[in-house]
Structure 1
Amino acid sequence: MFTIHINDDTKTFDSAITLRDVVMDPNKEFPVARVNNRLREMSYKFAYDAEVVPLTLDHTEVVHVYEASLRYLIAMAFSRVYPTYNIKFKYSVSRAIFCYITNVEQPNIEDIIQHVTAEMKTLVEADLPFERITTTVEEAKEFYRENNYQDRNDILQYRPEKTVHFYRCDSYQNYMYSYMVPSTGYLSKFHMFPFDIGFLIQYPRSETNREIPPYQGAPKYIDTLRKASVWAHIVEADYISNLNSKIHNQHTVDFIHMCEAKHNAMLTELGDRIADNKHQIRLIAIAGPSSSGKTTFANRLRIELMTRGLRPIRISLDDYYLNREDIPVEPDGSIDLESINALDVALFNANMKDLIAGKTVELPVFDFASKKRGGYRTMHVTEDNPIIIEGIHALNDLMTSSIHKNQTYKIYISPQLQLNLDNHNPISITNLRLLRRIVRDKQFRNASALRTLSMWQSVRNGEFKWIYPNQEHADYVYNSGLQYELNVLKKYALPTLQEIPNDSEYYMMANRLIKFLKYFKDINDDLVPNNSLLREFIGGSCFHEE
């Protein structure tokens, strides 16, 4: 006999029971549930005392499950309607998935979307169950060979386990490196429309109250993603298997320096653009989401401009924090330190306007220990002293409202790694940034992965509110991703992720990261240059003392 606590209710059972029978979900609101803080599918069968928490799409981990299941549904629909078409998924702009057909030139995308959508709706109406099955690696290889899934076979050689998981739905079989919703009937919310050479797939999100967010075009950001995808294909590192094949002997050194050379080329391009307009550009604003590498980038850009005879100076937006007691209180009584209202925007505008006009200015210095302004420093700049600022609000027009637009050059920085496990399973850019942050927090703040994961949703909320709405204000989008970096981050991230106990509410998040990270071959970080942007996270940077 065992006891289950669910929704303020206690139930007792004599024999093993499935989670589906415990939760009882006729309206299909709960795709998965937490069982003693472990993420479990509704088919999970157990016979022990447990705390069961049914989860909705309000939870980010459930959104990951929904999105992976939706990719499965799309691939299944293609196998029925267009069985000869090969498709590839990538993460794209506006919180959507990008999909395109790899073996057909100039397909009629609108007709394809219409037919695939109709088939998906038929499958949803049929409410077909997803069945998890386990095979040997050899059986998986044979299945992949029979179905011409060479991309799947290529990655299997790096799988440490001796078994392989699949999900079967009706007669279709696939695997998305994720738990799945119970059945196709749970996947009724999606929207697809033509985009570039393929189409975008939108799906419900936790941050938009379980609804599909409105599409927001971002041509500058999209262009950077497109360039990143093309470059990854050119250097044959668009799949983990291709990437791993470069990690041996002298090829490792060559590949690392190819990636670093790509960063250097973008810095050169930026340096040329700014230097060509040096008499006009006086303020260089840099912003990007967490763990984009803003600090190292700002230092390298400063040096790049110095080679052109300029003498940039850096000013921190952090010095413009209001005294803690002067920061406006949120409606719930809390203080949002990431809000632009926490900064003295008027003083910043006045200071920058006066500096650009050639005046000597007293700039504030914020004392974080006392949480208030700690004094001032005197500054004067000349025409060859462009001012570099970086921070989450640097691209917000309010921060530079008193400065002529032609005098400001705005740079958005973010890693735009375009990399896949296989055609149906892209690597999330957000997960890359999270891994960077986990490693940096452990290296420099002695903070566990558990602590970083516990803060991540708050960080993401701030990004959606303050950073992403301003990204298209940028004059230049800098891709700070390095195609080899996950091979380096792996050895730092895995140990701290594996320390998270399986009864932690963040275990399921850690487990999801571990699932794909284990496929990367290690790179010795001694090979990483000391001025590399990656050094900001693993240590050993020439730009600051550890």
Structure 2
Amino acid sequence: MIILCKIVLLCGKRRDGGMMSECFINTKRYTFKKGSTVLQVLMETDKNYRQVLVVRKNNRLCDLHQKIKDGDKIETLSINTREGFRCYQNSLSFLLSAVVEEYFPQKRLIIEHSFGDGFYCKFSNGQKVSKKIIRELTRLMRKKIKERIPFVRIERTKKGIITYFKQKGKKEKVQLLGFEKGATIELYRFKDYIDFSFTPLVADSSYLQDFKLHFYNPGFVLRFPQPMMKHVNKNFPDEPKLFHIFEEYEKWGEILGVPNLISLNRKIEAGEISELIKVAEALHEKKIARIADEIKARWKKLRIVLIAGPSASGKTTFSKRLAVQLRVNCLRPITISLDDYFVERGKTPRLPDGTYDYESIGAIDVALLNKHLSLLLKGEKVTIPKFEFSTGKRLKGKTIAMKKGQVLIIEGIHGLNEKLTEQIAKEKKMKIYISALTQLNVDQNHRISTRDTRIVRRIVRDNLFRKHTARETFGIWKNVEKGEERNIFPFQEEADIMFNSALVYELSVLKRFAVPLLRSVTSDQEEFSEAERLLKFLSFFVDVSPGEVPPTSILREFIGGSSFLY
């Protein structure tokens, strides 16, 4: 079992003519030679130092080769932290990329998107992946791991590294760095392989013992050990419906002529963003219309539509746009909010820290909801509750009844969980899963995380509508993610239909809203490292004015200016 290790190092007085630094590690006093690295200190003081993958030094993420200075405050992070896990993912991806370049130079690796418990990868231009190649890649990666090759952070001038990539024939990276504003670039070197990384990497390849390559035609999955587990799961958690959505949206990217960030930036610079936005939005509308058509086709039996998805996925706007399309099909939707079926506050489950767990299905009065749904389907009148958040009490709400041509729309995080509507026959309901499954990558080796897209959306929306700072949203986000891991993601494949709310151009619009908010997080705050990471990857985007975004767009839910009432 890999455990979370937290150590605080406070460097203090010097001894021995200034050659030593005095530090406190978990209340114990130690002295170290001036100029020691984090790794050297940990090797002397922590028998579990191998579990430390990355550190937060003065609220900046750093690798273990960083030197400690007087007064530095360091928090060590294992794979059980979000930062440590991301470091492990990126380090293993870096290793895979290096191995492919060295031993399969005729092939071009593309790391596409998260899938199952890893990253889905393939070779470009339809180059085949075989189980034989998978076995050989695994053997070569294991070989590099045994050699304990260090990941070394280097700094080069922008001009110098562009020249290097040109000599290597890496046109994509040359074009990408053309959008970088800085004069110098931080990169990592792994023997002869050099590339940039949005996070620090592990100290050396021997830290990457746990991984598997899983053949998944036409590519393969680079699988990781999940936090709190020692090894990669024996069985691959296949998600065929989710995979189909990713593949569908990859084809959309081809239709739009935007397979990656470079092509997006080129279109913006060429003044073609207006057309791109129109086509991207039309694809969304076409998909929503098709869902409405399917509901219409099944209407005689289908009476309830359940919509679920993680935070900042655009569920509310999707629901409103779906309602419009249902009206086009002569169906009249009635909307019910799951929030009104919360149990009263005194009966709400609590988290380990004592706070109320509103994201637990135990916070919903499932029995009352099923009773009301059953009555509505029989044509009877029902007085639905109205939950008062300020008092934690449930009051009487409006009285509703279902008439001919009406469909119930229920939006909430538990919509995919069969327990929520267990008394309703399956043929009477449709489950829709919505998420911002980002199909745009930075380049062939660097994916854009769906979580990153959602947190940027959430930061912008929380500031605009709730006056939250970026730091406050980061604080909330930790518990939001935990709730999603328990209550949403395990039920993804239960969906009858999946809708991808990501828009290929959205981060270029969100950038001008998000950057000043992220810059407001100061270096004396714990959230600084995460803000810095997001700023680094957003720096590659050419920003776009929000004026072209239509008022019915899902993006308007986050940047304001929507024609829908929320």
TM-score with structure 1 setting the length: 0.96
> In structure 1, how many angstroms separate the alpha carbons of the residues matched to 2:544 and 2:212?
40
In structure 2, the residue matched to 1:309 is 330
Task: Check conservation: 2:61, 2:199, Cα contact below 8 A.
Answer: no
> Are 2:387 and 1:366 aligned?
yes
> Are 2:40 and 1:18 aligned?
no
Letter in structure 2 aligned against 1:261: A
The aligned runs of 1:45-444 (5 Å cut-off) are: 45-103=67-125, 105-107=127-129, 109-206=130-227, 208-209=228-229, 211-212=231-232, 215-248=236-269, 250-329=271-350, 334-444=355-465
> In structure 1, how many angstroms separate the alpha carbons of the residues matched to 2:510 and 2:317?
17
Letter in structure 1 aligned against 2:67: K
Task: Check conservation: 1:6, 1:52, Cα contact below 8 A.
Answer: no
Flag the 1:457–1:400 CA change in 2: closer, same or farther, 3 A: same
Stretch deviating more after TM superposition (39-48 or 121-130): 39-48
CA-based RMSD of the aligned residues comes to 1.7
The aligned runs of 1:468-479 (5 Å cut-off) are: 468-479=489-500
Letter in structure 2 aligned against 1:212: V
> In structure 1, how many angstroms separate the alpha carbons of the residues matched to 2:369 and 2:468?
33
| Cα-to-partner distance string for 1:141-163 (whole Å, 9 max, x where unaligned) | 22112222111111111101111
| Cα-to-partner distance string for 1:266-304 (whole Å, 9 max, x where unaligned) | 011111111112222110110001100000010010011
Letter in structure 1 aligned against 2:222: I
| Deviation for aligned residue 1:211 | 4.6
Flag the 1:216–1:298 CA change in 2: closer, same or farther, 3 A: same
Task: Check conservation: 2:349, 2:358, Cα contact below 8 A.
Answer: no
The correspondence for 1:461, drawn from 482, 486, 497, is: 482
The correspondence for 1:494, drawn from 512, 515, 518, is: 515
> In structure 2, how many angstroms separate the alpha carbons of the residues matched to 1:9 and 1:496?
38
> In structure 1, how many angstroms separate the alpha carbons of the residues matched to 2:435 and 2:340?
24
TM-score with structure 2 setting the length: 0.92
How many residue pairs match? The answer is: 543
Letter in structure 2 aligned against 1:105: Q
> In structure 1, how many angstroms separate the alpha carbons of the residues matched to 2:190 and 2:211?
19
Task: Check conservation: 2:32, 2:41, Cα contact below 8 A.
Answer: no
Stretch deviating more after TM superposition (526-535 or 83-92): 83-92
Task: Check conservation: 1:414, 1:481, Cα contact below 8 A.
Answer: yes
In structure 1, the residue matched to 2:8 is none
> In structure 2, how many angstroms separate the alpha carbons of the residues matched to 1:149 and 1:330?
49
Task: Check conservation: 1:38, 1:503, Cα contact below 8 A.
Answer: no
| Deviation for aligned residue 1:501 | 1.2
| Cα-to-partner distance string for 1:286-329 (whole Å, 9 max, x where unaligned) | 00011000000100100111111111110000000001112245
> In structure 1, how many angstroms separate the alpha carbons of the residues matched to 2:270 and 2:59?
43
Identical amino acids, percent of aligned pairs: 34
| Deviation for aligned residue 1:106 | 2.8
Task: Check conservation: 1:279, 1:383, Cα contact below 8 A.
Answer: no
| Structure 2 unaligned regions, length at least 5 | 1-13, 15-20
Q: What SS is found at the alignment partner of 2:248?
A: helix
Letter in structure 2 aligned against 1:439: V
Stretch deviating more after TM superposition (329-338 or 254-263): 329-338
| Deviation for aligned residue 1:14 | 6.2
| Cα-to-partner distance string for 1:462-511 (whole Å, 9 max, x where unaligned) | 11111112111111101101000000100111111111111222111111
Letter in structure 2 aligned against 1:314: T
Q: What SS is found at the alignment partner of 2:51?
A: coil
| Cα-to-partner distance string for 1:451-472 (whole Å, 9 max, x where unaligned) | 1111212111111111112111
| Structure 1 unaligned regions, length at least 5 | none
Task: Check conservation: 2:242, 2:493, Cα contact below 8 A.
Answer: yes
Task: Check conservation: 1:438, 1:452, Cα contact below 8 A.
Answer: yes
Name which structure has the greater RCO, CA cutoff 8 Å, separation 6+: 1
In structure 1, the residue matched to 2:26 is 7
Letter in structure 1 aligned against 2:83: E
Letter in structure 2 aligned against 1:201: L
> In structure 2, how many angstroms separate the alpha carbons of the residues matched to 1:535 and 1:331?
36
| Deviation for aligned residue 1:417 | 1.8
> In structure 2, how many angstroms separate the alpha carbons of the residues matched to 1:343 and 1:379?
20
The aligned runs of 1:523-534 (5 Å cut-off) are: 523-534=544-555
> In structure 1, how many angstroms separate the alpha carbons of the residues matched to 2:450 and 2:350?
33
Q: What SS is found at the alignment partner of 1:225?
A: helix
Letter in structure 1 aligned against 2:217: D
| Cα-to-partner distance string for 1:440-460 (whole Å, 9 max, x where unaligned) | 101100001111111212111
